[in-house]
Amino acid sequence: MSMVQVGVIGASGYVGSELIGILMKHEGVDISGISSENNQGAAFSTLYPSFKGQYDAQFESNQEVISKSDVVFICLPHGKSENMVKQCIDEGKKVIDAGADFRLNDLKVYEDWYETAISYPELHGQAVYGLPEMNKEAISQTSLVANPGCYPTSILLGLYPAVSEQLINTDRLIIDAKSGVTGAGKSLSAVTHFANKNEAFKAYKAGTHRHTPEIEEKLGQMGADNVKVSFVPHLLPVNRGILSTIYADLKSGSDSEHIHNLYKKWYANDPFVTVLDYGTLPDISHVTHSNQCHIGLTVDERTQRLIIVSVIDNMQKGAAGQAVQNMNIMMGFNETEGLAMVAPSF
């Protein structure tokens, strides 16, 4: 079998660089080209010196990358991907978009929350939401995958079994989530400056974060009725990782043993989701630098509330790792190819 030619547009950012590290280990692909708007002609290893002697390819133009690739990863901010995706699809390429442009089915909601106009509404109808544990069959048959947001990945995986089996009320879900600073991207800001972030911890965009409509829409597709989410993200003084704590009111008749057994059975065949023993809560450090999601469950018997704690590495399962997982499914590779890594807990 010939090697699949894979290109990365926007390879100079955190997600793009993470992709390069994964793809270098993938036995079924060659990296055909990389692009960067501000670094064309420079070597990748000048931006990321740890790659020196391992991957020294130069950044090319977007068109050069597209023309040489069978699969294109697009790692651009929202509003920047749509035209690029259109070009790739028109040229018969498969695309995984790591940005937000194709995640929402309701285009009006996207335009309102992201303050960005849609140019090719018909193109959005071709996109499949790339949460493999939810949409594996559809991912295997599409040419365009919308890679999920990092927060929604941890939250949706945490809620999927309970929502689909109608175990909880979804009209007042409370989600308290924390992310490492790489989730803010590579661009410098006062908020992520070391002197401001070190030894600090704060909430931000309470009730207004752009991942809110993505969470609500996908929960609806999982079977939830009348979804209302209070979502409050926080910025942790760590490089990577997301921990989402989810509070959901149980419907009558649901007990802790039944819920835990349901979760274990639900994810039994998903290689990147691990449901911990009942009452054991996960730690970000146990999934760092891996594509794993760890889920812990406990029931507050006094309030009859299910408490779900879900952790991922925002750069792996929350971005680049999940993008490669989607590519593996699209191209018929083993789902775990290039991703079989267990993180040390130190």
Q: Which residues are the active-site residues?
A: 150
> Where do we find the tokens 């999601």?
293
Question: Which pair of tokens denotes residue 229?
Answer: 């989410």
Q: Which residue is listed with tokens 């597209």? A: 66
* Sign of the dihedral defined by the CA atoms of residues 260, 265, 267, 271, in that order: positive
Tokens at 108, concatenated? 């009006």
What is the separation, in whole angstroms, between the first and last Cα of the chain?
Answer: 39
**Alpha carbons 140 and 145: distance in angstroms, whole number:** 10
- Joined together, the tokens standing for residue 203 give 């909430």
Inter-residue contact 85 to 66 (CB < 8 Å): no
Alpha-carbon distances of 57 from 8, 26, 40, rounded to whole Å: 12, 17, 11
Q: How far apart are CA 131 and CA 154, in angstroms?
A: 10
Among 306, 303, 311, 286, CA closest to 161: 306
